[in-house]
């Protein structure tokens, strides 16, 4: 009995660490007080991926400066992923974040913010998302798809083609293929 207990504990710890590292994505809370509307019981059917960066100066990947821009324009996404692949929660999923703007889904519906979760990658027109960002995005999208009946995973440019070109410099087809395989 005395010998068995440490083994049980060891296996329980192994199991826990496996679930933690693969099943659950670590999300840092960085809630904003702008760019969203509190709501109850909305249907999440869509995930929209964006790119954003600080355009004010050379410090283009500084998340605080990116959020300062969001505040200025009264916009936000639910999540933002920095260059190291760390994901920050800006708005709770139950609330409507203002990230899509005037846009339309492939099935013709507008009012995309109401139906979607927005995810921003920090990268500019002249660079690609990092491998760490893509890995985190894959995990986050997979995890969201496991919790809602998601009809579409789309780029901002897919729903607002005349206004928007983001996410920039991302191999979208490869990403979508991977999201359809991952569980
Ligand atoms: Zn966008």
Give pLDDT tens digits for 143-176: 999 999 999 999 999 999 999 999 999 999 999 9
Preceding amide of 167 cis, omega within 30: yes
pTM to 2 decimals? 0.87
Q: Is residue 12 part of a domain?
A: no
Number of domains within the chain: 1
Q: How remote is the CA of residue 118 from the centroid of ligand 1, in Å?
A: 9
Q: Is residue 20 part of a domain?
A: no
Give the residue numbers spanning the domain of 168.
25-181
Q: Is residue 53 part of a domain?
A: yes
What's the mean pLDDT when you consider all of the chain? 91
Q: Is residue 8 part of a domain?
A: no
CATH code of the domain containing 111: 3.40.80.10
Return residues with CB closer than 5 A to ligand 1 (ion): 50, 156, 166
Q: Is residue 177 part of a domain?
A: yes
Encode 129-156: b = buried (16+ Cβ within 10 Å), e = exposed. bbeebbebbbbbbbebbeeeebbbbbbb
Query: What is the per-residue pLDDT for 58?
Result: 87
């Amino acid at each position: 009995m005395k010998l068995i207990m440490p083994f049980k504990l060891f296996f329980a710890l192994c199991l826990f660490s496996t679930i933690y590292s693969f099943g659950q994505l670590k999300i840092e809370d960085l809630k904003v007080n702008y760019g969203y509307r509190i709501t109850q019981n909305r249907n999440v059917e869509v995930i929209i991926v964006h790119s954003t960066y600080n355009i004010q100066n050379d410090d283009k990947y500084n998340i605080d400066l990116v959020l300062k821009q969001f505040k200025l324009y009264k916009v936000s996404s639910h999540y933002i992923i920095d260059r190291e692949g760390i994901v920050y929660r800006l708005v709770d999923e139950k609330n409507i974040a203002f990230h899509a703007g005037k846009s339309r889904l492939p099935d013709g519906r507008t009012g995309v913010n109401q139906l979607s979760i927005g995810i921003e990658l920090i990268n500019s027109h002249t660079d690609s998302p990092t491998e760490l960002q893509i890995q985190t995005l894959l995990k986050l999208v997979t995890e969201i798809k496991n919790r809602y009946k998601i009809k579409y995973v789309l780029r901002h440019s897919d729903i607002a083609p005349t206004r928007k070109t983001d996410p920039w410099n991302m191999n979208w087809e490869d990403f979508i293929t991977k999201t359809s395989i991952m569980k």
